[in-house]
Amino acid sequence: MNSYQYLMSDINKINGIGIKTSKLLKKKNINTIFDLLWSLPRNFTDRTNLVKINELQVNKIQTVTVNVVKYYFPRLRNLPNKVLCEDHTGKLECIFFNSYEGYIKKILPLNTRITISGKVNYYKNKYQITNPTHLSSDTNSIKKIFPSYSLTEGLTEKKYNKIVNYVLKNIPDLEEWLDEEVLRKFNFISWKEAILQLHDPKNLKKNGNFLSRLIFDEILSTFLINSKVRTAIKKIKKNKKKFNNDVIQKIKKKIKFKLTFDQLKAIDEINKDLKSDKKMFRLLQGDVGSGKTIVSLIAANNVINSGFQVCFMAPTEILANQHFNLARRLFNKNIKIDILTSKTEKSDRNRIIYDLNNNITNIIIGTHSLFQEKIKYKNLGLIIIDEQHKFGVRQRKRLSDKGGNNCDILVMSATPIPRTMIMTIFGDMDTSIIRNKPKNRQDVKTYSKLDNKINEVIKFVKKQLLLKNQVFWVCPLIEESKKIDHKSSVKRYEELKRFFNNKVGLLHGALPKDEKNKILLDFLNKKIDILVSTTVIEVGIDFPNANVIVIENANKFGLSQLHQLRGRVGRGEKESFCILMIKSNLSENAKKRINILKSTNDGFKISEEDMKLRGYGDLLGFKQSGLQSFRLADPIINEDLFLLADKEVKRIELKNQNLKKYLPLLKLYDRADILNDIV
């Protein structure tokens, strides 16, 4: 068995791990020996300090040397066995649940001096240690510092320590994969040495070269895999797309606004890719409302003009319809546009599929249905995917393969995440970022309001309706139960109807799709003015006339989520408002979230703050990307190591270095299960 196989072998291969223990560990997601290396000591137990019985501190782990005086072995099965011990200062009882007399007599022979360690209780005027973890007649063998791991129920600390110890003793030496230059930065600590130091109780909660090295390994492996996908796709030769500046000039005339600097820059970057002979694999990133759609439609039009078809996938039907209508308005009449969703009639569907297959249709806009096997494109030149957070590296790679060699790929995402996260999640793609929003866009004025002041909010909403504005009303999110969510939104809907009559609509997750769409369209067409909903409105629909969003129980939402919700308004030129309804007794963390939101509209800043508050693991996008979270690395705290890894990967790319020596690293750390697809 080689080192890699050893590390990847099932934990039940470890001496002393039986079926029961391995089940317990697997519940904690520890499946392999390698996994076990990352269950880090949370704390350590200091047993070096010997005390006398009258100095014992309750509820602490203490070590004491005593004489064994007397046994109590009750006949009743469910009563514990006890052993009375003493020193010259007092008495101490050892309590044993589930231990046989014979065993107890062996470990605590009468009239001997024994050193005992364990957590101390005080019960009925006596000190007690229940199931003492360490007992020995040799005081020195106990006087050590033990790492203590966070335990699963049913697994004792002692057993766990033993397992980890065994594993640490048997860690194989792996051939070094880091280059000397990089290794020097970590003081030449090998991977194995770093792991050992990681578990050394002395190093607990300490940073050091050992930790930096392990974090770096983790980042590097991810970046290398990303790079591998990226370069593999770059190697694909395609027919260059040929077009001039006509499209953008014509479209510019049809829109009321001026394209921003960032939009123009993104268009430029995309055009360069389209015109090159390498396949484009690009992410267009920009906060909600930054104006990604127009950029993607200009790209689509250019591709069509150079003789190719375009496929544009939106996350929802409404959004597909919105894009469809916009494309019809912007594109020349001779361009054939179709829309395909799950609602498309069967007869239409057959015609649409026929037209696509025969190059009659130039651009098809739709939902997931666009990727059915049945649909064949005659001459696909560009796939655009809008608001797709759920695509991980792996799905994206498949998508890229699907279009064929001549097909460029543009993915759009509104998840504003820090640079280090983009490198991690989208590192297989090139990126264009729209950082600044259109100039006419005002910040959404954000206020918090105690929830017992709801009458003031209703008054405010009334005024806004008189100004012909529209309002989103987001109802409490109660995580435990979708049913309760639903109930609370129904209740609020009924209440608001008393004030606003038939001007109110209700949208919740349990509604059938068609009804949902009808209500959204009613809102879009201003048949209703207030849309009460649970969080279903999060995804990218453009309602330029809505300028107020009321969010009840705002403290229950995460920062990024609140920001996404707030992004539903403030898309037109009107002054817009976000009212966060809160309770009076907020936690510190909730107060911070509300204050951050009130102080800035910058999505990138907010996501960074969000990560500081919550850790990156929960961040929108990361969880959904299909990547496993890092075990050690943190994109905010370890920014320098991310940048270092990025530099190192670029160097490796530049030298066109063979990745063979990194294989052990890649295999051990593969977080996306993608290695087999690309090596």
Binding site for Mg ion (CB under 5 A): 540
Residue 147 and residue 41 in contact, taking contact as beta carbons nearer than 8 Å = yes
Tokens standing for 622? 């990361």
**Shortest CB 262 distance to ligand ADP, Å:** 9
The verdict on 257 binding ligand ADP (CB under 6 A) reads yes
Buried b (16+ CB within 10 A) or exposed e, 608-627: bbbbeeeebeebbbbeebbb
Judged by beta carbon, residue 23 or residue 258, the one nearer ligand ADP is 258
The verdict on 603 binding ligand ADP (CB under 6 A) reads no
Tokens standing for 336? 């054939």
Give the CB-nearest residue to Mg ion: 540
**Shortest CB 439 distance to ligand ADP, Å:** 7
What torsion, rounded to 10 degrees, do the Cα atoms 42, 47, 51, 54 define? 40
Q: How many CA atoms lie within 13 A of 491 on its CB side?
A: 9
Alpha-helical (H) ranges within 242-342 are: 246-254, 261-275, 292-305, 317-330
Q: What residues numbered 394-423 form the site for ligand ADP, per CB under 6 A?
A: 414
Kindly write out the interface string for residues 458-497 of this chain, putting x where it contacts ligand ADP by CB under 6 A and - elsewhere: ----------------------------------------
**Shortest CB 294 distance to Mg ion, Å:** 10
Q: CB 456: neighbour CB atoms within 10 A?
A: 12
Question: Cα separation of 395 and 672, whole Å?
Answer: 10
Q: Are strands 380-385 and 134-136 parallel, antiparallel or unpaired?
A: unpaired
Residues with Cβ < 8 Å from 215, sequence gap 6 or more? 632, 633, 638, 641
Exactly one of 89, 187, 440, 587 binds ligand ADP (CB under 6 A); that residue is 440
Out of Mg ion, ligand ADP, none, what residue 41 binds, judged by CB under 5 to 8 A for its kind, is none
Q: CB 182: neighbour CB atoms within 10 A?
A: 17
The verdict on 147 binding ligand ADP (CB under 6 A) reads no
Exactly one of 45, 117, 263, 361 binds ligand ADP (CB under 6 A); that residue is 263
Query: Which of these segments, 253-261, 401-409, 486-494, 645-653, binds ligand ADP (CB under 6 A)?
Result: 253-261
Q: How many CA atoms lie within 13 A of 465 on its CB side?
A: 20
Query: Which of these segments, 92-100, 289-297, 519-527, 545-553, binds ligand ADP (CB under 6 A)?
Result: 289-297
Out of Mg ion, ligand ADP, none, what residue 621 binds, judged by CB under 5 to 8 A for its kind, is none
What angle in degrees, to the nearest 10, is found between the helix axes of 292-305 and 246-254? 140
Question: Cα separation of 380 and 403, whole Å?
Answer: 7
The verdict on 555 binding ligand ADP (CB under 6 A) reads no
Judged by beta carbon, residue 319 or residue 507, the one nearer ligand ADP is 319
- Nearest to residue 287, comparing CAs of 133, 444, 403? 444
What angle in degrees, to the nearest 10, is found between the helix axes of 559-566 and 588-599? 30
**Shortest CB 502 distance to ligand ADP, Å:** 27
**Shortest CB 412 distance to ligand ADP, Å:** 7
**Shortest CB 431 distance to Mg ion, Å:** 17
Judged by beta carbon, residue 542 or residue 648, the one nearer ligand ADP is 542
Q: What residues numbered 568-587 form the site for ligand ADP, per CB under 6 A?
A: 571
Out of ligand ADP, Mg ion, none, what residue 224 binds, judged by CB under 5 to 8 A for its kind, is none
Q: What residues numbered 506-545 form the site for ligand ADP, per CB under 6 A?
A: 540, 542, 544
Burial of 676 (0-12, 13-18, 19+ CB in 10 A): exposed
3 state SS of 459: helix
Give the CB-nearest residue to ligand ADP: 291
Judged by beta carbon, residue 366 or residue 540, the one nearer Mg ion is 540
Out of Mg ion, ligand ADP, none, what residue 508 binds, judged by CB under 5 to 8 A for its kind, is none
**Shortest CB 291 distance to Mg ion, Å:** 9
- Nearest to residue 569, comparing CAs of 478, 446, 465? 446
Q: What are phi and psi of 92, to 5 degrees?
A: -145, 135
Q: Phi-psi category of 423—alpha, beta or left, where left has phi over 0 and alpha has psi -120 to 50?
A: alpha
Residue holding tokens 């409302």? Answer: 289
- Nearest to residue 262, comparing CAs of 283, 244, 284, 246? 284
Judged by beta carbon, residue 225 or residue 370, the one nearer Mg ion is 370
Judged by beta carbon, residue 20 or residue 329, the one nearer Mg ion is 329
Q: What is the DSSP string of 178-229?
A: S-HHHHHHTTT--HHHHHHHHH-GGGTT---HHHHHHHHHHHHHHHHHHHHH
Exactly one of 80, 132, 147, 291 binds ligand ADP (CB under 6 A); that residue is 291
Size of the chain, expressed as the number of residues it contains: 679
Residues with Cβ < 8 Å from 642, sequence gap 6 or more? 219, 420, 423, 424, 633, 635
Out of Mg ion, ligand ADP, none, what residue 544 binds, judged by CB under 5 to 8 A for its kind, is ligand ADP
Judged by beta carbon, residue 36 or residue 414, the one nearer ligand ADP is 414
Exactly one of 39, 117, 293, 534 binds ligand ADP (CB under 6 A); that residue is 293
Question: Cα separation of 94 and 84, whole Å?
Answer: 6
Out of ligand ADP, Mg ion, none, what residue 366 binds, judged by CB under 5 to 8 A for its kind, is none
**Shortest CB 330 distance to ligand ADP, Å:** 11
**Shortest CB 387 distance to Mg ion, Å:** 6
The site that binds ligand ADP (CB under 6 A) totals a number of residues, namely 20
Tokens standing for 643? 């940048």
Judged by beta carbon, residue 265 or residue 349, the one nearer ligand ADP is 265
Out of Mg ion, ligand ADP, none, what residue 610 binds, judged by CB under 5 to 8 A for its kind, is none
Query: Which of these segments, 27-35, 152-160, 254-262, 646-654, binds ligand ADP (CB under 6 A)?
Result: 254-262
Judged by beta carbon, residue 489 or residue 576, the one nearer ligand ADP is 576
Judged by beta carbon, residue 286 or residue 621, the one nearer ligand ADP is 286
Judged by beta carbon, residue 390 or residue 483, the one nearer ligand ADP is 390
Exactly one of 288, 364, 548, 665 binds ligand ADP (CB under 6 A); that residue is 288
Contacts to ligand ADP by CB under 6 A: 257-260, 263, 286, 288-294, 414, 438, 440, 540, 542, 544, 571
